[in-house]
Structure 1
Amino acid sequence: MGVTIADVASRAGVSKTTVSRVLNGKGEINENTVLRVRTAISELGYVPSAGAVGLARGTTQMIGMLVPDTAWAWAGIVQAVVETLETEGFGLRMLTWNRGEESLRRLGLQVAARSFDGLLVMEPEGAMGYITELHEEGLPVVLIDDRFQRPGFPYVATTNRLGGEQAARHLLEIGRRRPLVVAGPETFGCTRERLDGFLGVYAQAGIEIDRSSIVRGDFQFERCRSAVARAVADGLEFDSVFAHNDPSAAGVLAALHAAGLWVPQDVAVVGFDDVEMASYTYPALTTVRQPMREMGEAAARLLLDHVRGSPKAAPSCVVPTSLVIRGSTTGPSAN
Structure 2
Amino acid sequence: MPITIADVAARAKVSKTTVSRVLNGKGELDESTAARVRAVIEELGYVPSSRAVGLARGRTRVVGMLVPSLTWPWIGEVLQGAVDVLETERYGLLLFTCNRGEESMRQFGVQVSAKSFDGLLVIEPEGTLDYIATLHRRGLPVVLIDDRDQTSGEIPSVGTTNHDGAASAARHLLDLGRQRPLVITGPERFGCTRQRSAGFAAIYAEAGRPITEDRWYLGDFTVARGAEGVQRALAAGVEFDAVFAHNDLSALGAMQALADSGRQVPEDVAVVGFDDIPTAAHTQPPLSTVHQPLREMGEAAARTLLAHFEGTPLPESPTVIPTSFIPRASTVA
Provide the aligned C-alpha RMSD in A. 1.6
Compare 127-136 and 253-262 and name the one that shifted more. 127-136
The percent of aligned pairs where both chains have the same amino acid is 56
> 1:318 maps to which residue?
320
Whether contact under 8 Å (1:216, 1:224) holds in the other structure is no
Matched, 1:225 2:231: no
> CA 1:58–1:181 in 2, change beyond 3 Å: closer, same or farther?
farther
User: Residue 146 of structure 1: CA displacement?
Assistant: 4.8
Match for 1:301: what amino acid? R
User: Residue 100 of structure 1: CA displacement?
Assistant: 2.0
Match for 1:320: what amino acid? P
Match for 1:222: what amino acid? A
Output one character per residue of 1:82-125: Cα deviation in whole Å (capped at 9) or x when no partner.
Answer: 11101111110001112222122111111111110000011232
Q: Distance in 1 between matches of 2:309 and 2:66?
A: 17
Q: Distance in 1 between matches of 2:127 and 2:205?
A: 36
Q: Distance in 2 between matches of 1:146 and 1:243?
A: 20
> CA 1:57–1:309 in 2, change beyond 3 Å: closer, same or farther?
farther
Q: Distance in 1 between matches of 2:164 and 2:57?
A: 37
> 1:128 maps to which residue?
129
> 1:113 maps to which residue?
114
Q: Distance in 2 between matches of 1:248 and 1:94?
A: 28
Q: Distance in 1 between matches of 2:76 and 2:291?
A: 15
Q: Distance in 2 between matches of 1:292 and 1:90?
A: 21
Identify which of 259, 269, 272 aligns with 1:270: 272
Whether contact under 8 Å (2:146, 2:159) holds in the other structure is yes
Output one character per residue of 1:240-263: Cα deviation in whole Å (capped at 9) or x when no partner.
Answer: 010000000000000100111111
Q: Distance in 2 between matches of 1:57 and 1:168?
A: 52
Secondary structure of 1:142's counterpart equals strand
> 1:80 maps to which residue?
81
Consecutive unaligned residues of structure 2, counting only runs of 5 or more, are: 1-55
Q: What TM-score do you get using the length of structure 2 for normalisation?
A: 0.80
Whether contact under 8 Å (2:63, 2:117) holds in the other structure is yes
- Alignment length, in residue pairs? 276
Secondary structure of 2:122's counterpart equals strand
Q: What TM-score do you get using the length of structure 1 for normalisation?
A: 0.80
Whether contact under 8 Å (2:74, 2:294) holds in the other structure is no
> 2:293 maps to which residue?
291
Identify which of 144, 148, 159 aligns with 1:157: 159
Secondary structure of 1:327's counterpart equals coil
Whether contact under 8 Å (1:57, 1:118) holds in the other structure is no
Identify which of 236, 239, 249 aligns with 2:238: 236
Secondary structure of 1:223's counterpart equals helix
Asked which structure has the greater CA Rg, the reply is 2
Whether contact under 8 Å (2:292, 2:323) holds in the other structure is yes
Matched, 1:140 2:157: no
Matches within 5 A, 1:127-206: 127-151=128-152, 152-206=154-208
User: Residue 58 of structure 1: CA displacement?
Assistant: 5.3
Q: Distance in 2 between matches of 1:158 and 1:265?
A: 31
Secondary structure of 2:205's counterpart equals helix
Q: Distance in 2 between matches of 1:308 and 1:284?
A: 44
User: Residue 131 of structure 1: CA displacement?
Assistant: 0.9
Whether contact under 8 Å (1:144, 1:299) holds in the other structure is yes
Consecutive unaligned residues of structure 1, counting only runs of 5 or more, are: 1-55
Output one character per residue of 1:168-203: Cα deviation in whole Å (capped at 9) or x when no partner.
Answer: 000011111111101111111111100000000011
Whether contact under 8 Å (1:57, 1:307) holds in the other structure is no
Runs of 4+ more than 6 Å apart: none
Match for 2:221: what amino acid? F
